[in-house]
Amino acid sequence: MKITKGFRHANHYRKIATVLARHGFGYILKEVGLFHVLSLPKRIATDPTEFDNRSVGTRIRNAMEELGPTFIKLGQMISTRKDVFPPSIVREIEKLQDDVAPFSFEKAKAMIEEDLESPLEKLFSRFDEEPLAAASIGQVHYAELHDGTKAAVKIARPNIKEIIEKDIEVLRDLARLLTQRFHWAQYYKLEGMVEEFAEAIRAEADYDTEWRNTDKLQKNMEKFRNIHVPDVYETYSSRRILTMEMVEGEKFSSLHKLDFNLNRKKLARSLADAFLHQVLIDGFFHSDPHPGNIFITGPEEAAFIDCGQIGRLNQEMQRQFVDYVIALTRRDPEAIAKAIYNMAEIPKDMDEDRFADDVEHLLFKYYNRPFKEIRLGEAINDIFSTAHRYQIFIYKEYTLLAKAIITMESVCAQLDPELSIVEVAEPYGKELAKQRLKPQFWMSEIQEELKAQQQVMRDIPTEFRDALKRLNESHVGVEMKIPKIDIFLNKLDRISNRISFSITLLAFSIIMVGLIIGSSFGAPSSFLVNLPVIEISFVVAFFMFLWLFFAIFKSGRF
């Protein structure tokens, strides 16, 4: 078994293996060949009967919390894939707590002064030693600039990137080993998921990326006067430090603490409108709008914070998503299936008719209800889950969007239970439909198609030359598929075997007749007459006949 940099990370493997075994997953370690990294007492302690009173989801959540930042973030990603993982596990993983013990003020100060190349006192007139919040990737301190500007300073945990990279290496190895030994790991494309996760967590741990995301989202939201995105102070920021405007208000999760009258309906409409604009117009949306990332800043105002997780949709993806929503609103199973095919990786041997039938069966759940009473996120997730049963893997951009819609619908429902995301989305859908009728849209489509065909035409000479080269080197195999060829070949076998049998029988008869005539007219002194030629020939011919007869009947093609 090959393990990447195994010796260098031996202690890390041992720690992870110990935690997994402690929570009842020792059998997996044993199956993939990692059980040997545990010490004997810990092996003995791995008794799966101890965990009968706890669900698998609970044990997974507890193990992730114990393993630290990378695994907590992994759990958060898993919780977005309701189309892939069982609901019981997702429900437990959604309870993952990202509140961890803060690191010391001395370490925070040292990192700020190292990255910003200036003493803390020269950078800020005030800097609180106790953090406002601490999470797995970093923690936030209140500070004030020398001009009196209030700021929130986010500081990454010491060595967090090294910890993440080490954990990613281990996760890659585990995913590879599990894929080699378990069908479910192949089915869920575990290795691909780890790579997707690695890309996401690296971006989240890089505050330069979050700064660019925040700056772009702020510009996109300028037209929404009730929705705010905080400023980022570039001079006071780096890859490990992010200093931004302090948002005054209460977290949405503390809605009950508000001491002013809230215009719930208007605020819910503003949040839904802003979010759909991000998705359908900008193609750049906050993919984690949970109550902890939304601040209530006034009776009708709110702010988005923490732009570490951002979703992106290009124009084609936006159109595909709109087509999908339109098909859902029309309850058209064939149109839904067609939209899914454009949004996913489809297996070659999939039964498309059966999938469309299953989608239609699922839609019965919504037939007798007005669509405004249906949660769009719930409907999307139901279809995605059905698609996964057919090994249709929805592209990550859409699964991220589905999770964000579910989260935003939940937030809006707490403010205005009667609000329908579909009704808010209707004007955007109409606008996109109008754009498709404009000559500029068709010209753009034609230009894109011409570019694609131009590239294909450029590639043809190279591919033709390569094909000729492979042909000249005799490296080309020819594979032909003819419908019902097996039936034809079987019949051909039967015909040829019958002909062989008839010829052999005829030859046997001719030999026998010749020998009988020869013995009748031959001279008494003939050498042939004195030998038992007839008997010998008969025995030889008879055994040849039996051998051929047996071979033909054994083949079953007579």
Q: Facing residues of 355 across strands?
A: none
Per-residue CA distances from 105 to 11, 68, 83, 157, 239 (Å): 29, 21, 42, 11, 19
DSSP output for 369-384: S-GGGS-HHHHHHHHH
Whether residue 378 is found in the same domain as residue 231: no
Q: Facing residues of 166 across strands?
A: none
User: Any alpha helices (H) in 190-263, and if so which ranges?
Assistant: 190-205, 207-220
| Segment 123-143, tens digit of pLDDT | 999 999 999 988 888 999 999
Whether residue 78 is found in the same domain as residue 171: yes
Whether residue 173 is found in the same domain as residue 302: no
Question: Per-residue pLDDT averaged across 143-149, rounded?
Answer: 94
Look at residue 534 and tell me whether its pLDDT is greater than 70. no
pLDDT of residue 277: 93
Whether residue 415 is found in the same domain as residue 532: no
Distance CA 5, CA 130 (A): 38
Find out whether 175 and 191 touch, Cβ atoms under 8 Å.
yes
| Of 135-139, 240-244, 251-255, 303-307, the least confident | 251-255
Q: Which residue has the tokens 């359908």?
A: 280
Q: Is residue 314 helix, strand or coil?
A: coil
Mutual angle of helices 421-437 and 315-330, in 10-degree steps: 120
Long-range contacts formed by 485-490: CB under 8 A, 24+ apart: 490/557
* More confidently predicted of 423 and 312: 312
Please check whether residue 466 lies inside any domain of the structure: no
Give 275's pLDDT tier (boundaries 50, 70, 90): very high
Give 1's pLDDT tier (boundaries 50, 70, 90): very low
3-state secondary structure 266-305: HHHHHHHHHHHHHHHHHCEEECCCCHHHEEEEECCEEEEC
pLDDT of residue 3: 47
| Segment 74-96, tens digit of pLDDT | 887 777 676 667 777 878 887 77
Find out whether 368 and 288 touch, Cβ atoms under 8 Å.
no
| Of 103-107, 278-282, 422-426, the least confident | 422-426
CA atoms in the 13 A half-sphere facing the CB of 374: 21
Whether residue 365 is found in the same domain as residue 272: yes
Please check whether residue 467 lies inside any domain of the structure: no
Whether residue 222 is found in the same domain as residue 329: no
Q: Is residue 119 helix, strand or coil?
A: coil
Whether residue 70 is found in the same domain as residue 118: no
Distance CA 322, CA 374 (A): 17
Q: Which residue has the tokens 């419908």?
A: 483
Find out whether 412 and 272 touch, Cβ atoms under 8 Å.
yes
Query: The whole model's pTM is what?
Result: 0.70
Distance CA 211, CA 219 (A): 13
* More confidently predicted of 476 and 362: 362
Look at residue 403 and tell me whether its pLDDT is greater than 50. yes
Question: Per-residue pLDDT averaged across 102-120, rounded?
Answer: 94
Per-residue CA distances from 220 to 121, 169, 384 (Å): 35, 37, 29
pLDDT of residue 537: 63
Look at residue 309 and tell me whether its pLDDT is greater than 50. yes
How many domains, in total, are found in the chain?
A: 4
CA-based nearest residue to 307, from 235, 402, 218: 218
Distance CA 240, CA 153 (A): 10
241-245 vs 150-156, strand pairing mode: antiparallel
| Segment 189-233, tens digit of pLDDT | 788 888 888 888 888 889 999 999 999 999 999 999 999 999 999
Distance CA 427, CA 148 (A): 43
Whether residue 288 is found in the same domain as residue 385: yes
End-to-end CA distance of the chain: 51
Mutual angle of helices 10-22 and 56-67, in 10-degree steps: 150
| Segment 426-458, tens digit of pLDDT | 787 777 777 766 666 556 656 666 665 666 666
Please check whether residue 238 lies inside any domain of the structure: yes
Look at residue 374 and tell me whether its pLDDT is greater than 70. yes
Please check whether residue 253 lies inside any domain of the structure: no
Distance CA 94, CA 400 (A): 15
In the DSSP assignment, the letter for residue 280 is: I
Q: Is the dihedral angle over the CA atoms 352, 357, 358, 359 positive or is it negative?
A: positive
Per-residue CA distances from 57 to 50, 76, 170, 197 (Å): 15, 13, 21, 20
Whether residue 175 is found in the same domain as residue 293: no
CA-based nearest residue to 519, from 495, 499, 536: 536
pLDDT of residue 44: 46
Please check whether residue 460 lies inside any domain of the structure: no
pLDDT of residue 40: 44
pLDDT of residue 212: 93
pLDDT, averaged across the chain:
79
Whether residue 358 is found in the same domain as residue 494: no
Final residue of a domain: which of 191, 219, 246?
246
Q: Which residues contact 40 (CB under 8 A, 6 or more apart)?
A: none
Distance CA 337, CA 352 (A): 8
Percentage of the chain surpassing pLDDT 70?
A: 71
182 phi, psi to nearest 5 deg: -125, 130
Whether residue 285 is found in the same domain as residue 194: no
Look at residue 5 and tell me whether its pLDDT is greater than 80. no
| Segment 155-177, tens digit of pLDDT | 999 999 988 998 898 888 888 88
Q: Is the dihedral angle over the CA atoms 120, 123, 124, 127 positive or is it negative?
A: negative
Whether residue 287 is found in the same domain as residue 217: no
Percentage of the chain surpassing pLDDT 90?
A: 23
Q: Which helix (H) or strand (E) holds 558?
A: none
Give the CATH number for residue 117. Answer: 3.30.200.20
For the chain, the maximum distance between any two Cα atoms, rounded to a whole number of angstroms, is 138
Find out whether 85 and 49 touch, Cβ atoms under 8 Å.
no
Q: Is residue 471 helix, strand or coil?
A: helix
Question: Per-residue pLDDT averaged across 292-308, rounded?
Answer: 91
Q: Which residues contact 190 (CB under 8 A, 6 or more apart)?
A: 175, 178, 179
pLDDT of residue 490: 63
Question: Per-residue pLDDT averaged across 236-245, rounded?
Answer: 95
Q: Which residue has the tokens 């750049």?
A: 284
301-304 vs 250-251, strand pairing mode: unpaired
Structural domain harbouring 385: 264-437
| Segment 471-525, tens digit of pLDDT | 666 655 555 555 555 555 666 666 676 676 667 666 666 766 666 666 565 545 4
Give 70's pLDDT tier (boundaries 50, 70, 90): confident
Distance CA 452, CA 279 (A): 26
Please check whether residue 459 lies inside any domain of the structure: no
pLDDT of residue 128: 95
